[in-house]
Amino acid sequence: MRRIFILIILIIMLTTVGISEKSTPLISRSALFGNPDRITTRLSPDGSMMSFLAPVNGVLNVWVGPADQPERAKPLTNDTYRGIRSYFWGYSNEHILFLQDRNGDENWRVYSVNLSSGKTKDLTPFEGVQSQIQAVSPKHPLECIIGLNKRDPEYHDLFRLNIETGNLTLLQENTGFSGFEVDDDFKVRLASNMTQDGDIEIFKPGEDGIWHRFMKIKMEDTISSRFAGFNKTNEKIYLIDSSDRNTAAFYTLDLDSGQKSLVAEDDKSDSAGAMIHPTEKNPQAAAFYYDKLQWKIIDPSVAEDMEYLADLEEGEMRVVSRTLDDRSWIVAYTVDDRPTRYYYYDRSKKQAKFLFTDREKLDDKPLSRMIPVVITSRDGLDLLGYYTLPLGSDADDDGLPDKPLPMVLNVHGGPWSRDYWGLDATHQWLANRGYAVLGINFRGSTGLGKSFGNAGNLEWGRKMQDDLTDAVNWSIEKGIADPKKIAIMGGSYGGYAVLAGLTLSPEVFACGVDIVGPSNLITLLESVPPYWKPDIEQWTKRVGDFRTEEGRKLLRERSPLTYVHQIERPLLIGQGANDPRVKQNESDQIVKAMQEKGLPVTYVLYADEGHGFARPENRLSFYAIVEAFLAEYLGGRYEPIGSDFKGANFTVPSGAGEIEGLERALEDMSLANSSVGI
């Protein structure tokens, strides 16, 4: 009798798991990858106004309203196509500045919008020129410092820019430096230059007009070291530095003596920056990020604020905007299973008022948790990663599914970047479709100490790729992944890893999705944007030297194009036609080689995109194609394309017939410009 009872319970449990997993409602792609409702919330310097990015007729624009009544905000800008993704307040309190490129070419222009008149002015109307905002200061409310590579495409000269009139005044001609540090008085205090060894030499300007060598950052430390602003007197600069240690700590560096003083450190992760007082310019709390964000209090005057805010909500807390008088803050909370929540915080009252979430459509959606994990590589390195499981797949809540699942290995780009904990749209989308999702910080990823970062040097396609394979094997051993149903997907370097995975270990993955990934490392390095060339030694030391025969041999050995004949599994490629980093030729080359060998590949090309897909219409169309692709080869759930091709600007030069329903979908949506190939 007892056996029968146990059997009945097991049947009920298994049946419940199956129903729960299958009955989880599909979350629409538009809710995850369409425009957010409100993001990038900011306060004006005087605290009277609040701003954020929100859509106007489907395009992200800047909205502005009273700080105490954000519901009265109205659109200030009128972008009708690409959308604004980056903006900030001018210290005049009357201007908002934003950057915009053309169809992803990354030749950014600086625009100014006058709040009183509502007029937008292109402050840098130069064709084929990239603008970089170098410095803003409350001491110069109608000006900012920008860099322009107008005179020489490789080097940005510094200019004082009047944000009202657009007048430009040369501040510093760049005679061969890779970067500058400008203080609040708009004085150029430091310049940097890269040596043939990959070190960075720092120079100070002398009264004689000559640049004098001040310090050097060794190549092994450049992966984790950087400057982080000046103190109030401009006599000291803040430095995140890993010299003589593994993890980069936060220091104060005296510009006269060259002496540095330790401010904050962590033995597991590099400094992720600090909260700096808006006018006193002293560091108040230092951020460190191993598996999750951690704050270390430096200035006792904010301890009570930080404690109150930490207890207010779950998740990672960030102060994203502060007024000049420091009485008001905008605080954002990030968690893994709900949208970002914004609060307005009144410091004098020690009270926080909820404002809104960034994606209201996700507020009531069934979202999965993201689980941190440390995996040991075959040679003993700790690989920090995160994985996500479909809801209903883990009945006993032990962090492992009840049975192996189809899985997607999602590889981050960079590669000098990293994965983080939090609400990840790609993780949530794939988990909702029935896939386990794994992201791993392979060697070469940043923020985890210079030893780990430098372990990736000259290891593209080798140990960096081995780390990904080791993570896959771990997921199989733990019963997370079905070994016959594992996909690899990623963008930029992640796209390279997809191509490397399908060519160098074709037996591991069932299919791959490459987004703007390089296939030929020689042509990648030969075609970098001109303004990357001053730092080219970083690439030659970390990837391979395309200028020597020995280096070219290594790069050929690490290029997926060399091994295209070894591809056995289906491949989907997405590319932006205007990508200045990974040129269209990188995708064209491998598609052509696969076609010549009769290998199936689907190639989706976006005419108005660059390094990634900025327009939501393009994102939605591509992810609809990815979803159909994964459903065909891994067997997950699939939301019909519906209207997700509407407004997108893409062609399918090759392989529309390789994905079931794609040709029909193109016809149904009347994409007259789509070129459907084999």
**pLDDT tens per residue across span 368-414:** 999 999 999 999 999 999 999 999 999 999 999 999 999 999 999 99
pLDDT band at residue 21, thresholds of 50, 70 and 90? low
Q: Do 480 and 305 meet the contact criterion of CB atoms below 8 Å apart? A: no
Q: How many CA atoms lie within 13 A of 214 on its CB side?
A: 21
CATH of domain 370-520+559-668: 3.40.50.1820
What pLDDT sits at residue 13?
Answer: 37
Task: State the average pLDDT for the chain.
Answer: 95
Catalytic residue among 271, 559, 611, 621: 611
pTM: 0.94
Asked if pLDDT for residue 3 goes beyond 70, the answer is no
Shortest CA distance to 602 belongs to which of 645, 655, 560?
Answer: 655
Asked if pLDDT for residue 22 goes beyond 70, the answer is no
Q: Quote the CA–CA distance of 259 and 236 in Å, as a whole number.
A: 10
Asked if pLDDT for residue 191 goes beyond 80, the answer is yes
Kindly report, residue by residue over 81-132, the tens digit of the pLDDT: 999 999 999 999 999 999 999 999 999 999 999 999 999 999 999 999 999 9
Q: Which two tokens stand for residue 563?
A: 């091994």
Kindly report, residue by residue over 239-281, the tens digit of the pLDDT: 999 999 999 999 999 999 999 999 999 999 999 999 999 999 9
Q: Quote the CA–CA distance of 282 and 294 in Å, as a whole number.
A: 19
Q: Which two tokens stand for residue 582?
A: 């990974």
Q: Quote the CA–CA distance of 472 and 385 in Å, as a whole number.
A: 12
Q: Quote the CA–CA distance of 495 and 500 in Å, as a whole number.
A: 9
Mean pLDDT for the stretch of residues 419-435:
98
Residues of the chain with pLDDT > 70, as a percent, come to 95
Asked if pLDDT for residue 353 goes beyond 80, the answer is yes
Chain position carrying tokens 């393009």 = 618
What pLDDT sits at residue 20?
Answer: 53
Burial class (CB in 10 A: 0-12, 13-18, 19+), 18: middle
Catalytic residue among 492, 559, 621, 654: 492
Note if 492 is an active site residue: yes
Q: Do 541 and 499 meet the contact criterion of CB atoms below 8 Å apart? A: no
Q: Quote the CA–CA distance of 241 and 547 in Å, as a whole number.
A: 30
Asked if pLDDT for residue 472 goes beyond 90, the answer is yes
What pLDDT sits at residue 208?
Answer: 87
Question: In angstroms, how far is the first alpha carbon of the chain from the final one?
Answer: 62
What pLDDT sits at residue 586?
Answer: 98
Catalytic residue among 579, 587, 644, 654: 579
Mean pLDDT for the stretch of residues 578-586:
98
What pLDDT sits at residue 678?
Answer: 34
Mean pLDDT for the stretch of residues 584-601:
97
Shortest CA distance to 120 belongs to which of 73, 167, 79?
Answer: 79
Q: Quote the CA–CA distance of 48 and 39 in Å, as a whole number.
A: 19
Asked if pLDDT for residue 672 goes beyond 60, the answer is no
Q: Quote the CA–CA distance of 446 and 419 in Å, as a whole number.
A: 9
Sign for the CA dihedral angle at 490, 104, 101, 115 comes to: negative
Note if 611 is an active site residue: yes
Q: How far is CA 1 from the centre of its chain?
A: 58
What pLDDT sits at residue 230?
Answer: 98
What pLDDT sits at residue 209?
Answer: 86
Q: Quote the CA–CA distance of 1 and 4 in Å, as a whole number.
A: 5
